[in-house]
Each structure stands twice: as C-alpha cells, then as structure tokens.
A and B are shown apart, each in its own frame.
Chain A
Amino acid sequence: MSRYDYKHQLGTSQSPVTRRISLMQAIHLDAPLLGGLLVLVCVGLFVLYSASGQSTDTLLRQLLRIVAGFAAMMVMAFIPPRTYKRWTPWLFGIGIILLIGVLVTGTEAKGAQRWLAIPGTGVRFQPSEIMKVVVPMMLAWYLAERALPPGWKPVLLAAVLILLPTLLIAKQPDLGTSLLIASSGFLVLFLSGLDWKYIVGLAAAAVPAGAGVWMVMHDYQRQRVLTFLDPERDPWGAGWNITQSKTAIGSGGWEGKGWLHGTQAHLDFLPESSTDFIIAVLAEEFGLLGVCALLLIYFAIVARGMYIAMNAQDTYSRLLAGSLTLTFFVYVFVNIGMVSGILPVVGVPLPMVSYGGTSIVTLMSSFGILMSIHTHRKLVST
C-alpha cells in the first residue's frame, strides 16, 4: 500500500462524487461510519443539554471532548493496520506494566485505584481504558498467526492473555471494566471460530463454579450479591436508582414528555442523569420512539463496523474490527439493560452519549482503527 496508489486513483477519477469519496479515503475516514457517529453525538448533545439542567457549560465541555475524540479518531485512522499489528505485543506489554503500576502507585478516586499520573505533567489517565483497545488487538495479533479455528493450546494461551489484564483491573477494583475487557477478548476468540464445544463447556462450568462460590460465601456477602443482581431488594439504596430510572423510562410512554420536560431528571429524582443513566432521560423525554431511533443509530454503526470487518483483507484486521464493533455494542446493551432494570448495575456509560471524557476518546480511537482498516485496503484489481 502506498500513497502512490491513491494519487494514481485520484488522477484517474472523473466524477466529482467519486472524487469526494476518494478524498475521504485520502484522509482515511469512512463516510458512513463518520455520518453515523456524527448523528449519534448530536443526539447525545441534545439529551445531555436537557439532562444537565440546560447547562451550556456542560455542553461545551462535552463538545470539547468530542472534538478531542474526533481528533484521536483521525490520528488512529491515519496509522495503517500493519503498524498496529507490529506494535501490538509492545502495547500489550506496556499496558500490563501500567496496570501493575496503577495497583502500586495509582491515585485513588471513589475508593478505587484506576488512575495513573504521568510524572511532572499533572495529567492522569486510566490504563484500563487503553486496555479496552489493546486487549482485542493482542488477541487478534495472537490468533491471526495461528491456524483458525484455534485448537485447544492457542485457546488456553488466549485465555491467559484475557485473564491477565482482566484480573489486574478487577483488583483495582473495577469489576465492570474488567468484565467488558474480558468480553472484548472473548469476542475475538468467538470471531476466530472458537469451537462451540468450548463455549458450551465454559457456560456449563460456570454453573457449578458459581454454586461452589455461593456455598462458601458469608451471609452478608450473599446479600450483597443478591442486591447486585436484583437492586430492588434494597429500595432506598441501590434500588432507588433503578426504581427512579424505571419510573423515568416508563412515564415517557410512546412519545415522551417532550425535550426539556422530563420531570424525573429535572427534579433530581434520577441519579447520574448526565452520565450512566442518560438513556432514562432520553426515554422520558422522547418516549419509546426516541429509544427505538437511538437503537437504530447504534445498529447502523454496528452494521457498518461488521461490514468493515467482513471486508478486511487480513485476519488480524478482521478479528480486530469485528471485536471492536461488537464490544461497542456490548457497552450499549449493558448500559441500556442496566438502566432499564434487566441487568445488574455496573458503571458502564452509554457510548458517545453519556457525559464523560475518557470513554469518548477511547471509543473514537477504536472507530479510528476501524476506519484505518477500511481505508488502507489494497485495491484488488479485477
């Protein structure tokens, strides 16, 4: 792949439409994906404006993060997949070291060590956030070199590669992120053709293992697990959030109460209304139709991501693109499932909509990688 090819292609194209698309390709952006993401962030900003109590301040800060996210995306899109592949093991190694570093020296926030400060700069970041991208990269790198579907030995090693960062993050403790990272790694394995018998076996093993852990737990620990699984057992604690978010969603009805007219959010009944629970604000103000529209946008993005994955030219790119796309959807599902009360409450923001910086930059970076995969393809002449 060389810039020469594109120059050549640019030179031969005649129609202005083709030229525009080609221009997008020249800067390595994928127009449909970019369009979907732009629609999504616009919807997100509208909801955030309402959820934040019409704070333009919040809106501007979020906009700044989105701009930073897009910048990160463009940078990531510009780097060819080959380079990612080459750097993958190093990135993984550095990531693991950083995770260990967090456990040793990390700064504490809300009772968990997740942040690592860069000495002398005052900047701090969450290495676990980087691992959301690096773990699928590592799995894709490892499996791309093996004959697929993988045999039991590569599966075992892949499991080690997943568990190592997962356990390190779980120790921070950040159960939500560690589970999401584990699932992103697992998705690579799944896409690589992991034999169904492993999947069934894993599910079958989980039952007795869970039962075994349950048997040795103290009563108060069991209560905690039960509350985690069913927050409504504790209506004034964990259940308060869920009751209020279900009330917000349910009272939205078909068409919702109208933008800026959601009472649950505006009167502070809904906790975390700008961050993790922002979907409840959308559901309250725009109703079932609004939720369906949002899900449609998410589906369009996921569909485009899977299209890119299927059209990728090498196994590494395919696996990476597929797993990043599916991981994105896992975030969406876990968040909405949690807010609507069908999944336990884990701190997962709604991708691209929830207020908060790291998540947007990470997600946009992974979309940058997708675009890189799609726009750096070697053109197969026919």
Chain B
Amino acid sequence: MPKPITLKDHYRETRVFARRAVVSVFVVILLIVALIARMVYLQVLQYEKYSSLSDDNRVSVEPVAPTRGLIVDRNGHLLADNRPSYSVSITRELCPDIDDTLEKLSRLVEISDSRLDDFHKRLAQRRRPFTPVAVKFKLTEAEIAIIAVNQHLLPGVSLSANLVRHYPHAEAMSHAVGYVGRINESELQKLNATRYSATEHIGKTGVEAFYEERLHGEVGFQTIETDARGRITKVLERTDPVPGENLQLFMDLSTQLAAMQALEGRRGAVVAIEPETGGILALASVPGFNANLFVTGIDYATYNALQNSKARPLFNRTLQGRYPPGSTIKPIVGLGGIETGATTWEYSIYDPGFYKLENDSRFYRDWKKWGHGVVNLHSAIVESCDTYFYELAFNMGVDSIHDFMAPFGFGDRTGVDLINESKGLLPSRFWKKATRNMPWFPGETLITGIGQGYMLATPLQLALSTAILANHGNKVQPRMVKAIGGTPLPAPEVGPPITLKNPENWDRIIKSMRDVVHSAKGTARGIAKDLPGYDIAGKTGTAQVLGIKQDEEYDAEKIAEWHRDHALFVGFAPVQNPKIAIAVLVENGGGGGSTAAPVARLVLDAYFESLRQDANVPTTRAVQTP
C-alpha cells in the first residue's frame, strides 16, 4: 500500500500562518481593549470609591490627650502634678505569639498575676487595630533598659512614656485632693466620648473628682497618615489640646501636714476653715492612704487590705463621718436658749450631778459624778456642765433647738466643693414622725441638748458652725478651691446672716468659749500654755459611742478601745478677728479636752506659723507652673 506522500506546501503554510498571525494580533488588540476597559472602570467610573478607600487607608484622625491641670495650695506648693511614666505594651497585630511574648517579657521584668489578668481583660475588649495594650506601668530605669536592649527579641512589644498624675503628698492629701484612676465602664457611658477619647484617667474622689470638668482640658486632634502597620508617617493637620486649668486651693500645706502629724497613729479628722472666706485650710482624715497607688491601677491585694482595714483609711471622715457632736454644740444651744428666752445669762441652777424629769425614773447624769454645784450659762460652757443643758434643752424644746441650729449648717450638706458629703442629722419632732413614725419623747430632748442621741454631725459641719459663730452669724460656704487658672472664684451665695435680738450675745458666748481655754476651770485649759501670740475660743466634747446603762459607770480602762468615747474639740483663733476655725475629732480618743484640744493646738500653731512666714515674704507667691 503506497504511503501517501505529504508534500510541504510552503506557499499554503505561509498563508495559513499569516491568517493565524492576523487573528492573533486581532485578539491581542481585543485583550488590550479589555484591559483598558477594566482600567477605565476602576480609575474613572469607580474613582470616587477607590480614592476614598485609599484615603481611609492612610489617613486617620487621632485624639491627643490634654494635660491635666495642676493643683497647688494657697502658697503655690504642688499638691498634684503630671510626671512622665514609662509603660510597656503589646500590640496584638504585631505580635506573632502573645503568650510566648508575655512569657519572655516576664523573664525580664516582674509582672504580677493581677496585672496579667488585667492585661488579658483589656486585650479582649474591643479597640482599634494596632492599639497597644499596656502590660506594666511605672517601669523603673533598669526595667526600661532591659526591655529596650531585648526589644528585637520581642516583636510587638513597645515602650511608651505617658504623663501620669502624681501626688507629692499622697497620704496627707488623699482625702482632700483625692486621686484620679482609670476610667471604668460605667464612667465611660456617662462621659462625652469625644472629649475623653484620648484620656485614660478621671478624677475619682476629692477635688480631682469635683473639678474634673475644669482640670481635664479640651482634647486635641491630629490627622495622621499611617502605613499598613499603623505607624504614623506624617502629621497632616493638628489641633492642639487645651490643657486643663490649674487649681489653687485655700488649703495650707503646712497646716494640713501638721493635722496629719497630730493625728498620727489615731483615727480621726481635722477640718480648719478660714472664717472670712469659708476657705478650707486643712481637711485631714486619718489614716490616709497613698493616693498614687490608685493612679495606674491598684492591685487587688493592696486594695483589699485598704478596704478591709479596721482603721478604714479609704473612709473620708471629714465629710462622710457622722458623729455625735457632744458638748461641742453647747455654745450654740446656749445662744439659742438666750435668744428664745429659755434662759438668761443671770439664771443659775444647782447641779447635783444628774437631772431628773417628772414622771421619768431615769437619771440624766452629768459627766461629773458629784455635779458642778451652782452653774450659770457661762460656767456651764466653761466647765461643760451637762445638767444645765438638760434643763435648758427641756425648756427650749427640740424644735426650737432644731430651728436655731439649722442656720449654723447642721442637718444639711454644707455645699462644699467635694463629692459624697453627708448631711448629718439634726433631729426634730417632724423628722422623727416622718422617718420613724414615732412620737418624740421628752428625754430625747435632754440628750439632744448635749449633742447626743439622734444628733449627728460631720467634722466639716462642726468646723463650719464654729466659723459662723466666729463670724457673729455671717454665713460662709466651705470651699476647697480659691482660684482657677489664676482667677479667684467668687464667693458662693449664702443665706442671710444669723441675727440675734441682742448682738452683744455673740461676744458673751465667745467670751465663755475663750474661758474654756483661758480660765482655770476651762475644760481645755491645758492647751493655753505658751500660746505664741494668739488666743483661742473653743469647746471640748466627749461623745458616747455606747449607751451607758443606768446603774453602770463609764470606765475607759475597762471597755474595748472601739467602744471608748470620741474626743472632740471645736474652736477658733484669734478670738478677736478670727483667722481660723477648727473642728477636731479623734475616734475613741477619750476626753475632748485631753485628746482633741491638743491636736487643735498643734494645727493652730502650724497655721499661725505659716501666716507669719507668709507675711515675711513681701509678695504673694504665684501659682507654680513647671
């Protein structure tokens, strides 16, 4: 079978090839047109979309935290400032293995378990990608160095410096200035999200909380260009944050420190007020605590120790502590007695050591077992005679006592520029009916007259009432802040002054209070010794914590410390032209004259020393700004 011979037809092959080549070129042109069409679609028709996608990619607006305002005392001493603090953070998006990195990191620096818990909690929260989450705050120089050296082994780990609140007198100022802490979930919901978008801390207590608005400042913004890893490559636009305003307090640092010192080792409170302005010169609640611990997050063990301590260091006794005022209210009750005609300066009684109501088998005892003998209002205040005031109270009636004392600030908030102030309790028939649905018993009036029973007052209220007394009835509102941003705050509106039918009675009652300190029988005579150029009007108080049964006697030696009497002292100085009014409370401290009055003396000395030094400096020191 002959094999068919296939001859190569060169002409035909050339033609076939040429045709195929033309088809190919045609297809090439078609495909190029297709590519151009695709590009037109992307670059012309969809330009807006991709252009904004590209901008979203690179441009983001980032808030810039304002610097928190400083807090200084009346002489410009720093009470709260901002210091750089280094923290180490991990950015999850840049970290290949979080657990491994934490493991390596904890070999370099010590990280507590509670910090680790907190880190994991924050890591789980929703946040922008590439946001670093802090692992440890307040690194020491050595820790910064060891992390920096090993950083190449720790991808995603970064060191950052932040301004963090710092309290140079953290313990002394813990209740007055308060502290800032990390913003928590419930605070976050109430805050203006924009204003706080860069802020990590918020005032939690004290002045820091009350003046949060003014201290915080206004957030700034910067429009930044970031790369795919979230690193800032360029700042395109920037609106600077407005720093928070600086606060100047009425507080006198040395007086405050003296108050803390005087109560060292005890539990108690000192409140000192400038009678003319209502400015708070000292606000000490002892024991205090280290407020700096709260700024970057306190660990659970330390917090629990503070929270569960029997001495209650976290409790602000000056504002929240409600104590029976005891005999410290006697001058005001006495003044009320004169004003209502329930007694006169000349009226005197014989005190056998107790008072007895008709139709009442109960003995209302005087603190002095055998009585004071013949006493009038002056000697009843000087010697703190209870029997005289039982009778006076009985004659006045509880509602008269209530009505006369209320304008002195008892039973209501003073309106001080601090948070969580307690109202105290100034009882009346109406109050008892309304709250307990019980009638008022005459015996309750008697003990109200000596500041016992239902009556409760905060140390701040005691200091305020003393200041009003020192002012001859001119009211003031206690306040912490003297000036904001260099501008003095105007004095708040207060009610009309307390007027007496005979204004001379102010001086007469003050004379009695002066004799509490400056007479041989005065209950606070012990503090009159070597007074450096000023005199004091005051009143001691010893408030029962336990009710004493009829046939029992109070014996401090025999009962537990926690059941001993509270020691109190109120006073002001100098008697003419008073510069300072003070209230001292020592919990379970025993006698007011023996325990509380010496505390007051130390504080007063410190204040007058501070005034003297201030007078020596020709110009008033300006607010320090670093």
Contact = CB atoms under 8 A, between A and B. Distances in A.
A248 B54 contact: yes
Contacts of A298: 32
Given A246-B42, A249-B39, A295-B32, A269 B227 contact: yes
A326 B20 CA distance: 12
A107 B53 CA distance: 41
Given A299-B32, A329-B28, A254 B20 contact: no
Nearest to A298: B32
B37 to A, nearest CB: 10
Given A246-B50, A268-B228, A295-B36, A190 B20 contact: yes
A250 B21 contact: no
A149 interface: yes
B16 interface: yes
B35 A303 contact: no
B502 interface: no
B112 interface: no
B153 interface: no
B46 interface: yes
Interface of A is mostly: helix
A191 interface: yes
A193 B16 contact: yes
19 contacts: A191-B17, A191-B24, A192-B16, A250-B53, A251-B51, A251-B54, A264-B57, A267-B225, A268-B227, A269-B228, A283-B43, A288-B43, A288-B44, A292-B39, A299-B28, A315-B17, A318-B14, A340-B42, A342-B34
A333 interface: yes
What's the interface size class on B, roughly? 35 or more
Interface in B131-163: none
Interface in B12-47: 12-14, 16-21, 24-25, 28-29, 31-32, 34-36, 38-40, 42-44, 46-47
A250 B38 CA distance: 10
A336 interface: yes
Contact of A250 (B10, B12, B35, B47): B47
Contacts of B13: 148, 193, 315
A253 B51 contact: yes
Q: Among A248, A250, A295, which residue has the most Cβ atoms of chain B within 10 A?
A: A250
Contacts of B51: 250-251, 253
Interface string A303-316: 10010011000010
Interface of A: 146-149, 187, 190-193, 244, 246-254, 263-264, 267-269, 283, 287-288, 291-292, 295, 298-299, 302-303, 306, 309-310, 315, 318-319, 322, 326, 329, 333, 336-337, 340-342
Nearest to B10: A315
Contacts of A193: 13, 16-17, 19-20
B471 interface: no
Interface of B is mostly: helix
Contacts of B226: 267
A247 B54 contact: yes
B228 A263 contact: no
Interface string B508-537: 000000000000000000000000000000
A263 B54 contact: yes
Given A247-B50, A252-B43, A283-B43, A267 B233 contact: yes
A253 B43 contact: yes
B47 A310 contact: no
B49 interface: yes
Given A249-B50, A267-B233, A303 B36 contact: no
Given A253-B47, A269-B58, 8 more contacts: A249-B39, A250-B47, A250-B54, A251-B51, A267-B227, A269-B57, A295-B36, A319-B17
